[in-house]
Protein backbone atom coordinates (compact mmCIF):
# COMPACT_ATOMS: atom_id res chain seq x y z
CA UNK A 1 0.00 0.00 0.00
CA UNK A 2 0.92 3.64 -0.27
CA UNK A 3 1.06 4.32 3.45
CA UNK A 4 1.11 2.70 6.86
CA UNK A 5 -2.10 0.84 7.58
CA UNK A 6 -3.47 -0.34 10.90
CA UNK A 7 -6.25 -2.74 11.75
CA UNK A 8 -8.73 -2.63 13.28
CA UNK A 9 -9.48 1.08 13.25
CA UNK A 10 -11.53 0.67 16.42
CA UNK A 11 -11.51 -2.06 19.04
CA UNK A 12 -13.81 -2.28 22.03
CA UNK A 13 -13.06 -4.94 24.59
CA UNK A 14 -13.83 -5.81 28.16
CA UNK A 15 -11.46 -5.51 31.07
CA UNK A 16 -9.32 -8.60 31.38
CA UNK A 17 -9.52 -9.63 27.72
CA UNK A 18 -6.64 -10.09 25.29
CA UNK A 19 -6.28 -7.91 22.18
CA UNK A 20 -4.06 -7.81 19.13
CA UNK A 21 -3.45 -4.72 17.04
CA UNK A 22 -1.89 -4.99 13.60
CA UNK A 23 0.38 -2.66 11.67
CA UNK A 24 1.37 -2.89 7.99
CA UNK A 25 4.31 -0.57 7.37
CA UNK A 26 5.21 1.05 4.09
CA UNK A 27 6.68 -1.58 1.80
CA UNK A 28 10.44 -1.80 2.16
CA UNK A 29 10.63 0.14 5.42
CA UNK A 30 12.88 -1.72 7.84
CA UNK A 31 12.19 0.33 10.97
CA UNK A 32 8.80 0.15 12.70
CA UNK A 33 7.59 2.02 15.78
CA UNK A 34 4.61 1.74 18.11
CA UNK A 35 3.34 4.75 20.06
CA UNK A 36 0.35 5.24 22.35
CA UNK A 37 -1.68 8.44 22.46
CA UNK A 38 -4.00 9.03 25.39
CA UNK A 39 -6.78 11.55 25.13
CA UNK A 40 -5.51 15.11 25.08
CA UNK A 41 -1.84 14.12 25.08
CA UNK A 42 0.97 13.66 22.64
CA UNK A 43 2.00 10.19 21.49
CA UNK A 44 4.34 8.24 23.75
CA UNK A 45 6.87 5.74 22.49
CA UNK A 46 6.30 2.06 23.20
CA UNK A 47 8.66 -0.08 21.13
CA UNK A 48 10.85 0.08 18.05
CA UNK A 49 11.81 -2.71 15.62
CA UNK A 50 14.73 -2.79 13.26
CA UNK A 51 13.94 -5.71 10.97
CA UNK A 52 12.58 -8.60 13.00
CA UNK A 53 14.13 -7.68 16.31
CA UNK A 54 12.94 -5.28 18.96
CA UNK A 55 15.78 -2.77 19.13
CA UNK A 56 14.23 -0.77 21.97
CA UNK A 57 11.25 -1.80 24.10
CA UNK A 58 11.87 0.65 26.91
CA UNK A 59 8.50 2.33 26.42
CA UNK A 60 6.36 -0.72 27.08
CA UNK A 61 4.52 0.08 30.31
CA UNK A 62 4.56 -3.44 31.80
CA UNK A 63 4.76 -7.11 30.90
CA UNK A 64 1.15 -7.23 29.73
CA UNK A 65 2.34 -5.52 26.55
CA UNK A 66 4.26 -7.41 23.91
CA UNK A 67 4.96 -6.87 20.21
CA UNK A 68 6.31 -9.03 17.42
CA UNK A 69 7.47 -8.59 13.86
CA UNK A 70 8.35 -12.14 12.77
CA UNK A 71 9.10 -11.50 9.11
CA UNK A 72 10.37 -7.95 9.35
CA UNK A 73 7.24 -6.41 7.84
CA UNK A 74 3.86 -6.65 9.58
CA UNK A 75 3.90 -6.11 13.34
CA UNK A 76 1.38 -7.09 15.98
CA UNK A 77 1.03 -5.37 19.34
CA UNK A 78 -0.44 -7.71 21.92
CA UNK A 79 -2.02 -6.65 25.19
CA UNK A 80 -2.95 -9.23 27.80
CA UNK A 81 -5.44 -8.79 30.64
CA UNK A 82 -6.49 -5.39 29.38
CA UNK A 83 -7.24 -2.64 31.88
CA UNK A 84 -9.35 0.49 31.50
CA UNK A 85 -6.16 2.55 31.59
CA UNK A 86 -5.03 0.89 28.38
CA UNK A 87 -7.72 2.80 26.49
CA UNK A 88 -5.94 5.01 23.97
CA UNK A 89 -5.12 5.37 20.30
CA UNK A 90 -2.26 3.08 19.33
CA UNK A 91 -0.18 4.51 16.52
CA UNK A 92 2.27 2.72 14.29
CA UNK A 93 4.98 4.42 12.24
CA UNK A 94 7.64 3.22 9.86
CA UNK A 95 10.80 4.64 8.36
CA UNK A 96 12.99 3.45 5.54
CA UNK A 97 15.86 2.66 7.87
CA UNK A 98 16.62 3.23 11.51
CA UNK A 99 18.89 6.09 10.49
CA UNK A 100 16.15 7.75 8.46
CA UNK A 101 14.83 10.78 10.26
CA UNK A 102 11.34 10.67 8.75
CA UNK A 103 8.72 8.49 10.42
CA UNK A 104 5.41 8.01 8.62
CA UNK A 105 2.39 7.33 10.79
CA UNK A 106 -0.66 5.17 10.27
CA UNK A 107 -4.19 6.29 11.20
CA UNK A 108 -4.08 4.43 14.51
CA UNK A 109 -6.26 1.93 16.32
CA UNK A 110 -8.59 3.35 18.93
CA UNK A 111 -8.76 0.86 21.80
CA UNK A 112 -11.54 1.16 24.35
CA UNK A 113 -11.49 -1.09 27.40
CA UNK A 114 -14.83 -1.19 29.20
Partner 1 sequence: GEDVEQSLFLSVREGDSSVINCTYTDSSSTYLYWYKQEPGAGLQLLTYIFSNMDMKQDQRLTVLLNKKDKHLSLRIADTQTGDSAIYFCAEIPNAGNMLTFGGGTRLMVKP
Q: Which of 91, 94, 111, 113 binds partner 1 (CB under 8 A)?
A: 91
Contacts of 20 (CB under 8 A, 6+ apart): 76, 77, 78, 79
In the complex, minimum distance from the CB of residue 45 to partner 1, in angstroms, rounded to a whole number? 4
Q: Which stretch binds partner 1 (CB under 8 A): 18-26, 63-71, 73-81, 104-112?
A: 104-112
Spatial distance between the Cα atoms of 91 and 97, rounded to a whole number of angstroms: 18
Q: Taking Cα atoms as reference points, which of 82, 89, 91 lies closest to residue 114?
A: 82
Q: Judged by CB under 8 A, does residue 7 bind partner 1?
A: no
Spatial distance between the Cα atoms of 13 and 26, rounded to a whole number of angstroms: 28
Contacts of 85 (CB under 8 A, 6+ apart): 113
In the complex, minimum distance from the CB of residue 10 to partner 1, in angstroms, rounded to a whole number? 11
Q: Judged by CB under 8 A, does residue 107 bind partner 1?
A: yes
Footprint of partner 1 (CB under 8 A): 4, 31, 33, 35, 40-45, 48, 55-56, 59, 91, 93, 98, 101-108
Amino acid sequence: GAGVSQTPSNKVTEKGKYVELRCDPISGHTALYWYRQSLGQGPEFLIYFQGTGAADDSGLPNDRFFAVRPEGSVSTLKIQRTERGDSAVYLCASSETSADNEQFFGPGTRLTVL
